[in-house]
């Protein structure tokens, strides 16, 4: 696995910015998802028990990633959970990008989980999915 992400100290002072990158669009999805999970809670402190399968498709991988990250944020509030992991696969069928993912986590528990920021939304500010050589990269700003 060659995906990475890093939080950005120099942009969007009141929010949380990060960059994720990898050798494929799927790897960027992995990196960005992990960044969002870790923004909300330390995944290793979250047990399982709550799970939701999600399937989304789009012609535009950038829009698909944005919608997926927004979905991750949504279920945090709608189900009152934080996440341990979010395994996913991204495939391309013709022009259509297809995401199959699972959100795995547990109800919020302040006694056992290391909790961080309550993300309000994924913004389009500076949002960009780009390819440079054999690397794909996305920059995301989360409103917290």
Between residue 95 and residue 134, which ones bind another protein under the rule CB under 8 A?
Answer: 107-108, 110, 114-127
Binding mask 49-68 for another protein (x = CB under 8 A): --------------------
Q: Show the tokens assigned to 89.
A: 């696969």
- Reported for 69-72, long-range contacts at CB under 8 A and 24+ positions apart, including other chains, are 69/32, 69/33, 69/36, 69/122, 69/140, 70/121, 70/122, 72/33, 72/36, 72/37, 72/103
Q: Which stretch binds another protein (CB under 8 A): 7-15, 53-61, 91-99, 130-138?
A: 7-15
Q: Show the tokens assigned to 16.
A: 């949380």
Task: Give 6 or 92: the residue with its C-beta nearer to another protein.
Answer: 6
Nearest alpha carbon to residue 46 among 103, 102, 101, 108: 108
How near is the Cβ of 88 to another protein at its closest, in Å?
21
**Site of interaction with another protein (CB under 8 A):** 7-17, 40-41, 70, 73-74, 76-78, 80-82, 107-108, 110, 114-127, 141, 143-144
């Amino acid at each position: 696995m060659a995906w990475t992400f890093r939080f950005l100290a120099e942009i969007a002072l009141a929010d949380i910015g990060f960059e994720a990158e990898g050798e494929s669009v799927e790897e960027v999805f992995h990196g960005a998802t992990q960044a969002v999970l870790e923004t909300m809670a330390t995944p290793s402190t979250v047990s399982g028990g709550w799970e939701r399968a999600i399937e989304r498709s789009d012609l535009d991988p950038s829009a698909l990633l944005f919608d997926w990250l927004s979905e991750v944020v949504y279920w945090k509030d709608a189900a009152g959970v934080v996440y341990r992991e979010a395994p996913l696969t991204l495939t391309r069928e013709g022009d259509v990008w297809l995401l199959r993912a699972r959100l795995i986590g547990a109800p919020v528990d302040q006694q056992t989980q290391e909790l961080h920021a309550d993300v309000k939304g994924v913004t389009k500010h500076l949002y960009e999915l780009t390819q440079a050589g054999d690397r794909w990269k996305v920059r995301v700003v989360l409103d917290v």
